[in-house]
Structure 1
Amino acid sequence: MFLKGHAGDMMRVGRLSRESQHVAKPALTLGLAVQPDVLRDIASMPGFRGLGLLARILFALPENTVGFRRIGADPVPAEVADAYRESLGALVLTLAGWTDPAVVPLTEEANGRVLDIERAVEPRLAPGGAWGHIVDWGSKYTGAVVRMAGLIHLAEHLRDGWSRPVDADTIDRAAQLGDYYAAHALAAFDDMGADLEPALAVLDAHGYLRQIDAPARPRTGGRPPSPTFLVNPDVHQPNATVHPIRRTA
């Protein structure tokens, strides 16, 4: 349901025991505040990452402030709370009557900004790139930035945002949020145990490691044996240049 609701694609549920159901235009927002252990448990569940669920989440890992919290902190100022309530209410009431999705275009300059983001992201997704181990999340990064730009745009134009295009400045501000979420996604996936295969492949290619042929999988079933690597002894020498391990037939 979350995957379909994230994209707005029609959702069909077929059951043998009862009548099939479908939702023509699902829309789902997921907001969770969980402990790190919960994230690790979710990441270990079969299918959660493979199906693309984790790739669609914007992560925020705030610093633990226990021991440094301000006791008796002032509440949110009344004018801020009132402005938030009134703005959100106006936005909901304005869009409540819509039945068809509104298409909000980008200005030509804003579209150029989006292309710049795509060009910057692409090399990060390559094997050995900064996001090579979170390609699933990184592949959806530009789309997430554009979604945030749309939200900023509607929040600033409560009653007619759908009738005017998103400008370049809005894309730039959304990209700043994107930088924040990208840094936190890297930390979150590292904490969950991201796929290390791309990083190990780079270390192997540069001679830091050499993988030993894995033993045959036991006929009794079970998990395949974990890979084993030899470490180039040169890495233990201070200021040494690591030379590739010679491979023998």
Structure 2
Amino acid sequence: MLRLLDSLLRRMLLATIDRMSLKGLLLLAARLQKSEKWPEAEKVLLHARAETEKEGNTEGLIRVLLHLSRVYQSLEDFPRTHEVLEQALALANEIEDRGWQGAVHHHIGVAHMLRNQYSQAITHYREVVVIDKELKNHKALAAAYLRLGICYREEGDPKKAINCHRKSLNIAERLGDRHFAAEQYFHLGTLCLEDLDDKGEARAYFDKARALFEAVGDEHYAEQADEGLRNSEN
């Protein structure tokens, strides 16, 4: 019965999209995505794209294209993912909006990471770093360094990875974000243990990670850090 009601509700909502604002369309698409109703979400977003194109709403169109990229990503349709992201990047460049440029480069980096295309992801995350520095967007900058660190490790360059995670850690500590700082300590410990075979340095990082995870009440990751600590003591 609940499944039938849900189906009827979706059909009713989709039937009213012509009368919805862009904000309403994006909220509806987000709800459909959360429920993994990808075809319905795509239909809503394609309608939103057509409306924003007709209105000449460039920023709205970029926002819609980013939502569409997530739908296609979830469907593992990577050609269409990159198609809409390249369109979004062209629009962001056209209006010379650094915030949107950074957001699109981030999404392209994610798309490449999901396909294990780490060298391509690095290219886009380096752009994100440059933009976030310009905009003094410190939280986003810390996240960009984190992703760069992951990519460099996957590319077999642990020293560059460590450098990126340290930069991310420094920003997290300045912002007072203890959980994010703990994540960086954990990444650093893993790199020292598994890539550099430096157990002493690994122990120091895992110990700090465990203490911070415990302090913020994240028992799961505190246990992960504790396991890393034990492995570095063997």
TM-score (norm 2): 0.22
Determine which structure has greater relative contact order: mean sequence separation of CA pairs < 8 Å that are 6+ residues apart, divided by chain length.
1
Question: Is the helix fraction higher in 1 or 2?
Answer: 2
Question: Is the strand fraction higher in 1 or 2?
Answer: 1
Task: Kindly name which structure, 1 or 2, has the bigger radius of gyration based on alpha carbons.
Answer: 1
